[in-house]
Structure 1
Amino acid sequence: MTHADGLSAWREKLWDAAVAGDEYAATDAALAALDQDISLETLLLDVVAPVQARVGREWESNQITVAQEHTATAVNERVLAALAHHPAARAAAANGPARGRIAVACIDGEWHAMPARILSEVLRLRGWRVDYLGAQVPTPHLITHLHRTACDVVALSSSIPTRLPGAHAAITACQATGTPVMAGGAAFGPDGRYARLLGADAWAADGAAAADRLAAGPLPRPVATRQAVDDLPHLDDQEFTMVSRSARSLVRDVMGGLEERVPAMAHYTPQQRRHTAEDILHIVDFLAAALYVDDPGLFIRFLTWTAGVLTARGVPAGTLLPALDLLDRRLEDFPRASALIAQGRDAVSAAASPTHEIPLPGHGKIA
C-alpha cells in the first residue's frame, strides 16, 4: 500500500466514525494513525482537514443532513482536542525552536473555527507559541489582546465572504498596533485576492503554507495606518453602505413582492416564511460583499453555489430569479448593484433547468 493509499484509508475510517457520531472510534482511528508512523502534522492536514471539507461537500450535495453535518463537525473537533494533548504534540511544543508568538482568530461573525484550530496546532508543532482565540472574535477584544501580549503576528481566518468588510476593519486595526496580519480562509477568495485587496501582509491557502511562509522570515511590520475607504476608492459611491444598511427593508420589500407575484405564498407556514426571508437576506448580504470588493465573481459564485444546493434538494435553480428581479427593481438607482444582479441573473439562468419557476421554497438552505 502506498503512502497516499494509507492516508485515504485513514480518511475513510475517520469519515465513517464522524458521520456516525462516534467520537471514541474517531479518536481511536486518529491515534492509531499516529502509531502507524503518520506524523501529527500530516494527520492534521491530510486526514482531519480533508474529512471536514468532505462534511461540507456532502451537505451541499444533500448526501447528509444538517444534523449529521453538525454531528460530524463536533466529532472532528473532539479529535482535534485529543490530538492537541497527545504526547507528540506536547513534546513538539516543548522542544521545538522558539519561533515567536502568534494570535490566531476568526473574524467577528465567523463561526467556522476548525481551519483556524488546525492552523494553530500546525504552528505549535512548528515551534510557535500560539494564542488560539477561537470563533467570532470582536475586533476591539482582538486589539486588546494584541496590546496585552505583544504578539509578533496575527492570523485572521474567515470562510464566509460576507465577513470581508469586518475582515478589512480587523486587518487595519491590527496593523495600527504595529502587528502584521496573515489572512486565510475561503472568504478571501481564489488565490487570496481579497486578502491582498484589503491590505493583509500575507495570505496562505492552508496551515502548511502559513507555517512555511512564517518560517521563511518575519512579516514586514506595518509602518502606517490606512483608512478603509481610502484603500477602496470604489466605495466612494456609497452603494455598499446603502445596500448593507437597508438590508432588512430590502428583504421586506422583496418578500412583499413575492407574495403579490406568487399567491401560493399565502399558505406558507411561519417557518417557511422565516426561511424564505433568511434566504433573501443571504442574497442581499452577498450582494453587499461583492459591492465592497467590487468583484462580480463573488456574487456569481455564491448564486451558482446556491443554485447547486437547491438543485440537489429537488428545487429548480430558477426559483432564485423572482427574488433577483424584485431586488433589481428596488436597486435600479444603484448602477453597480444593478450590474451585479444582472450578471447573477444570467448565471442562475444558465444553471436553471428549463422547468417552470416556483417561489422560493423557504428551505433555509442557502447558508
Structure 2
Amino acid sequence: MTDPTTRTPTGPEETLPQHSLPQHSLPRYVDALWAAAIAGDEYGATDVVFAALDAGVDPEAVLLDVVGAVQRRVGREWAANRISVAQEHTATAIDERVVGAVGHRVRTEPHRGRIAVACVDGEWHALPARLLAEVLRLRGFRVDYLGAQVPAPHLVEHLQRTAPEAVALSGSIATRLPTAHATITACRATGVPVIAGGAAFGSDGHYARLLGAEAWAPDARAAADRLAAGPLPRPQNSTQAIDDLPHLGDQEYTMVTRTTPQLVKAVYTGLEQRLPVMARYTEQQRQHTAEDLEHIVQFLATALYTGDDELFGRFLSWTAEILEARSVPPGFLVPALDLLGAELRDFPRATALLEGARAQLAASIIGARESA
C-alpha cells in the first residue's frame, strides 16, 4: 500500500500544510535514508527523517515518499541481486524503526473512527501495513495496529471486543490469498467491512473483489482517502461461505495443497535424473532448489484457488528473472513444469494451467537468448 500517488484531498483537514516542500525536494532525503539503511545506521536514518520534518516536509510524505521509496528500492535491489538477504533484512528493520520514530515525533489527537490494521496470517511483510497505520493516525483515526501474521480467530476476537469501523487487511504474498479469503469471510461475519491492499490482491484489486472485500486501495494514501471519505458499506452477506468459488468444486486446489511435500519430492528427484549438474550441488543449492519447487507448487495451488491462470504465469516470469539475476539458468523451470505436469496428469485444470505456463515460459526463454 505504499506506492506513491498524487494525494486527493477529501476535506480542509486533508490538504497539505502550506510549508510542505515540493515533491522534487524529496530525493535527497530518499538518498540519505537509503545510505543509512543499507549501512545499518539506525541513528543516522532517524536523523534523516527528523531533518526532513524539521525542514517542513509533510509527515505523510516523509512516511510514504521517503521511507516508502527507500523500502521499494530495497525490494528492487534484492531482486536484482545487488544486495544480500541480510542487507535487505537490516534495511527493512531500520525502516520499521524510523516509521515508529516519526509516529512518536508527530502526534495527532484522534478525532475519527477506529480502524484495525492487520496482515494476513502467514504474511510477514509488515511494513506496508505499518505505514498505513501511521498515515491513518496522522489523519486522525484511532488505529489498532496488529502487525504481521495475524491469525483469523485472533483478529475476529479483536473485532468483537473493539468494534472498529473497518479492517484494513494487508498482503503482499499471493500464496496467502486462500488464507486472506478465510480472514475476509471471518471479518465480514462479524459485520465489520474490509478494505484490502498490497501486491497479493492484484494491481487492480481483482483478488480483493473476488474474495469479498468491501473495498480495495492501491496504496496507503488511497486507503486513507477512502476511509476518510466515509464509512465502508456494511457486509450484505455476512454468512458468505469460504468455498463459494464455483471452480473449487473439482477439489484440485485441495488435492494439490495436501500433496505439496510429495509433489516437491517427486519433481526434485526427476530433476536430478534429467540434470546431471545437480549431482554437484552444494547443500545450500539443494535447499534453495527445493524451496523454489515448493513455491512453484504453492503458486500453482493459488492459481487453482482463484481460477486465474495469469497469476501462475506472472510468478514464473518473476522467478525466471530472479534466477537469471543470480546466474542460475532459468531453463530448469521448463523440465520442472513437465515433471509436475506428469504428477498431476489426472487434474484437468492443473494440466491446462501447466501446459500454458510452460509454453509461455519456453517462448520467453528462447526470446531472451536470441536477443542476448
- Do these two structures clear the TM 0.5 threshold for a shared fold by scoring above it? yes
State the partner residue of 1:226.
240
- Give the Cα separation in 1 of the matches to 2:360 and 2:68: 31
- Give the Cα separation in 2 of the matches to 1:353 and 1:63: 25
Residues 317 and 348, structure 1, Cα contact 8 Å, conserved in 2: no
State the partner residue of 2:222.
209
From 20, 24, 47, the equivalent of 1:5 is 24
Question: 2:81 aligned with 1:62, yes or no?
Answer: yes
State the partner residue of 1:123.
136
Which aligned pairs between 1:309-324 and structure 2 lie closer than 5 A? 309-324=322-337
- Bigger drift between 119-128 and 313-322 goes to 313-322
- Give the Cα separation in 1 of the matches to 2:318 and 2:153: 33
- Give the Cα separation in 1 of the matches to 2:177 and 2:368: 35
- 1:156-186 per-position Cα deviation (integer Å, ceiling 9, x unaligned): 1000000000000000000000100110000
Question: 2:67 aligned with 1:53, yes or no?
Answer: no
From 145, 149, 169, the equivalent of 1:136 is 149
Unaligned runs of 5+ in 1: 357-367
Unaligned runs of 5+ in 2: 1-20
Seq. identity, %: 64
Residues 17 and 23, structure 1, Cα contact 8 Å, conserved in 2: yes
State the partner residue of 1:80.
99
- Give the Cα separation in 2 of the matches to 1:5 and 1:201: 35
Question: 2:362 aligned with 1:343, yes or no?
Answer: no
From 144, 148, 160, the equivalent of 2:161 is 148
Distance 1:9 1:355, change over 3 A: closer
- Give the Cα separation in 1 of the matches to 2:341 and 2:353: 9
State the AA in 1 paired with 2:103. A
State the AA in 1 paired with 2:44. A
State the AA in 1 paired with 2:49. A
**Normalising by the residue count of structure 2, what TM-score does the alignment of the two structures yield?**
0.91
Match of 1:151, SS state, is coil
| Displacement after TM superposition at 1:311 (Å) | 0.9
- After superposition, the CA RMSD in angstroms is 1.5
Match of 2:212, SS state, is coil
From 115, 138, 160, the equivalent of 1:102 is 115
Residues 203 and 218, structure 2, Cα contact 8 Å, conserved in 1: no
Distance 1:126 1:242, change over 3 A: same
Question: 2:187 aligned with 1:187, yes or no?
Answer: no
Residues 29 and 48, structure 2, Cα contact 8 Å, conserved in 1: yes
Question: 2:36 aligned with 1:22, yes or no?
Answer: no
- Give the Cα separation in 1 of the matches to 2:311 and 2:367: 25
| Displacement after TM superposition at 1:353 (Å) | 5.1
- 1:192-216 per-position Cα deviation (integer Å, ceiling 9, x unaligned): 1000000100001111101110111
Distance 1:151 1:259, change over 3 A: same
Match of 2:145, SS state, is strand
| Displacement after TM superposition at 1:335 (Å) | 1.4
State the AA in 1 paired with 2:140. G
Question: 2:274 aligned with 1:255, yes or no?
Answer: no
**Normalising by the residue count of structure 1, what TM-score does the alignment of the two structures yield?**
0.92
Which aligned pairs between 1:264-303 and structure 2 lie closer than 5 A? 264-303=277-316
Residues 318 and 353, structure 1, Cα contact 8 Å, conserved in 2: no
Distance 1:193 1:354, change over 3 A: closer
- Give the Cα separation in 2 of the matches to 1:355 and 1:320: 15
State the AA in 2 paired with 1:272. Q
State the partner residue of 1:157.
170
The count of aligned residue pairs is 348
- Give the Cα separation in 1 of the matches to 2:367 and 2:310: 24
State the partner residue of 1:359.
none
- Give the Cα separation in 1 of the matches to 2:228 and 2:93: 31
Q: Which structure is richer in relative contact order (CA contacts within 8 A, separation 6 or more)? A: 2
- Give the Cα separation in 2 of the matches to 1:317 and 1:271: 18
Distance 1:130 1:355, change over 3 A: closer
Which aligned pairs between 1:325-344 and structure 2 lie closer than 5 A? 325-344=338-357
From 187, 190, 197, the equivalent of 1:174 is 187
- Give the Cα separation in 1 of the matches to 2:59 and 2:41: 21
Residues 205 and 217, structure 2, Cα contact 8 Å, conserved in 1: yes
